[in-house]
Structure 1
Amino acid sequence: MRWRNTEFSFNHIIVDSLHPGIREYPPQGQIAQNLEHFLCTQPGVDCSNFMAAVTGPNCCLSPSSLDLFYKHTPQSTATKNGVHLSQMIRRGTIAMFDYDFPLINMQHYNQLTPPVYNMASMPKNVPLFLSYGGRDALSDVNDVKALLTDLKDHDKDKLVEQYVEEYAHMDFIMGGNAKQKVYDPLLAFFGQH
């Protein structure tokens, strides 16, 4: 896994936020405002489109969909989720959460380090629809290609790969043409399986 925007050290912010006991990311209230101010003053970060700094430059978001999105953001998650994502980004692996203490990992996994997920062990007949974009900073094209390599023995009629070159991460959710580009083919796939 890769993080394309090296100026924006999202993974370090997440990891650092765990230490003072912040269990929700991004935190709400004054802490969130301070964090937003910090992020928006970083070199190379344009907060007029903050999502692009995190998810990649979107092609197909309308001003009205962005307004709606910003009215409901930030949506928080458990800090542990962010730390887990950061671990995988920094280590280039897709593994279970690392508790950073071998004895704690041993309690959870019966081994000193967290186990790596073996994508190739997925049942070969499970229907999979993998859609990804050329501008997506979270589901990087190279990472998706690595996953597809792991799935090379998957039943060919059960695996659909859809590449949308101009899409970044949020385009899949809120793009003005996402219904035609992504959702209609996805529903057709569901109908076949």
Structure 2
Amino acid sequence: MTTALGVITARSFIGEISTMFGLAEFNPSSEPVSNFVKALCAQPGINCFDFLTAVTGKNCCLNASTIDFFLKNEPQPTSTKNFVHLGQTVRDGMIRKFDYGTNKNLAHYGEAKPPEYNLGNIPRELPLFISYGGQDALSDSKDVETLLDHLKFHDVGKLHVQYVKEFAHADFIIGTTAKDIVFNKIVTFFKNQQ
């Protein structure tokens, strides 16, 4: 994750703090979370003037009407545990199972540290479509390339990779060109897997 807001959020243990206050749901539009975000946005080096860009990266292909529609419906709440797990992943730089702390990890996993997810266990014959963007600050290109390295022995014809240099995170969802660049290719990919 390359967005300054995302990194400082993960490193600030905001998810863990929310859990301590008994918040099971991390709702970005709730007052406690909104106050956290405002405090983070006041930190030096953090520019939240364009909040969507501060979170997702510089999107190329959005217009005012799609952004307005998006912001009426997003961001959606998530489990605080999901948010904590994301923070753990960013801080550790590893894709591991949830870290409950040493004692609970021992009880849960039989070891002090949570085990890493073995991406090599992804079935080689499983059809996968991976589309990623060069401007995406949430699904950073380096992380996707690490994933692709784990998939280098995937069956030919079962893995389709699309790189869109100018796309950031929201462009894949609500970009004005997403239908032609991404959605149609996904539909074709699934039709070819039948």
Q: TM-score, normalised by structure 1?
A: 0.90
Q: Which amino acid aligns with 2:48?
A: C
Equivalent residue number for residue 32 of structure 1? 33
Once the two structures are aligned, what percentage of the paired residues are identical? 45
Equivalent residue number for residue 50 of structure 1? 51
**How far apart are the structure 2 equivalents of 1:44 and 1:67?**
26
Matched, 1:124 2:133: no
**How far apart are the structure 2 equivalents of 1:66 and 1:37?**
21
Q: Structure 2, unaligned stretches of length 5 or more?
A: none
Equivalent residue number for residue 141 of structure 2? 141
Could you report, residue by residue, the CA deviation over 1:155-181 in whole angstroms, capped at 9, with x for unpaired residues? Answer: 121111100001111111111110001
Q: Which amino acid aligns with 2:54?
A: A
Q: CA RMSD in A?
A: 1.9
CA distance change for structure 1 residues 44 and 67 in 2, over 3 Å: closer, same or farther?
farther
CA distance change for structure 1 residues 178 and 91 in 2, over 3 Å: closer, same or farther?
same
Deviation of 1:45 after TM superposition, in Å, equals 3.5
CA distance change for structure 1 residues 6 and 74 in 2, over 3 Å: closer, same or farther?
closer
Equivalent residue number for residue 110 of structure 1? 110
Equivalent residue number for residue 95 of structure 2? 94
**How far apart are the structure 2 equivalents of 1:134 and 1:27?**
26
Equivalent residue number for residue 5 of structure 1? 4
**How far apart are the structure 2 equivalents of 1:164 and 1:113?**
36
Q: Structure 1, unaligned stretches of length 5 or more?
A: none
Q: Which amino acid aligns with 1:129?
A: F
- Residues matched between the structures, number: 191
User: What secondary structure, in the 3-state scheme, does the structure 2 residue paired with 1:157 have?
Assistant: coil
CA distance change for structure 1 residues 171 and 39 in 2, over 3 Å: closer, same or farther?
same
**How far apart are the structure 1 equivalents of 2:136 and 2:103?**
37
Deviation of 1:49 after TM superposition, in Å, equals 2.0
**How far apart are the structure 2 equivalents of 1:29 and 1:126?**
39
**How far apart are the structure 2 equivalents of 1:70 and 1:105?**
38
> Higher mean Cα deviation, 155-164 or 2-11?
2-11
CA distance change for structure 1 residues 6 and 49 in 2, over 3 Å: closer, same or farther?
closer
Could you report, residue by residue, the CA deviation over 1:104-127 in whole angstroms, capped at 9, with x for unpaired residues? Answer: 112222222211111112111101
